[in-house]
Amino acid sequence: MLQEPDVSSTTKPRVYIFPTFKEEKNIDELPASKVTLKELVLAETVIPLYNEMCTTCENSSFAQEWIEHSGESGLSVFHVGQGSTAYDKWEPIYIGTNSEPIYDEMLSLEGKREKIVQMYTLCLKGYEFHVLDNAFLVYRPGSTKHKLWHRDMFVAEQYTFIKEELIPRYLTMFKEDEKCYI
């Protein structure tokens, strides 16, 4: 899929995005098909990841449309997007090749926004985001009893670093593109 044009009929650089869901209630077995996933979503046993706390982080606005779509069988592309406000703060999980830009090592998972910066970088480099149909991930959360008290400090520091240092640096490295947001 990465080497040949797909539904977008383009040879632009692209990454393939997995719609991502979260186990809301314990299930014995993770869904093996989109049909089974849809049943679990309708039963509210599985929900779009970040559905209640950050609807744009995994672009869960596409989730309902994606679930209802009964496209081709097999692996295909459901949606092709490029940077815009629809992808503001988007943190999808994607697959690509070794030629994609690596995550910026100056950013920490503890400080959050590292995936948002990665999507911004891909946008500035002209990547398309191809959302896969019939492929998905289901996250099974671990224990959430303990709040990471030190994380708030990292979040504030990293946000300041991104806005004041990283974005200006990226804009000297890449051509600014008004459709790319962070």
Confidence of residue 165 (pLDDT cuts 50, 70, 90): very high
Q: What is the 3-state secondary structure (H, E, C) of the chain?
A: CCCCCCCCCCCCCEEEEECEEEECCCCCCCCCCHHHHHHHHHCCCEEECCCCCCCCCCCCCCHHHHHHCCCCCCCEEEEEECCCHHHCCCCCEEECCCCCCCCCCCCCHHHCCHHHHHHHHHHHCCCEEEEEECCCEEECCCCCCCCCCCHHHHHHHHHHHHHHHHHHHHHHHCCCCCCCCC
Residues 23-57: tens digit of each pLDDT: 888 888 889 899 999 999 999 899 887 665 565 55
Share of the chain above pLDDT 70, in %: 75
pLDDT of 144 strictly over 60:
no
> Can you tell me the mean pLDDT for 13-28?
87
pLDDT tens digits, one per residue of 79-89: 887 766 555 56
Model confidence at 168: pLDDT above 90: yes
Domain boundaries along the sequence of the chain = 14-141+150-173
Average pLDDT over every residue of 91-110: 82
Look at 62 and 112; give whichever has higher pLDDT: 112
Band of residue 2 on the pLDDT scale cut at 50, 70, 90 = low
pTM listed for this prediction: 0.80
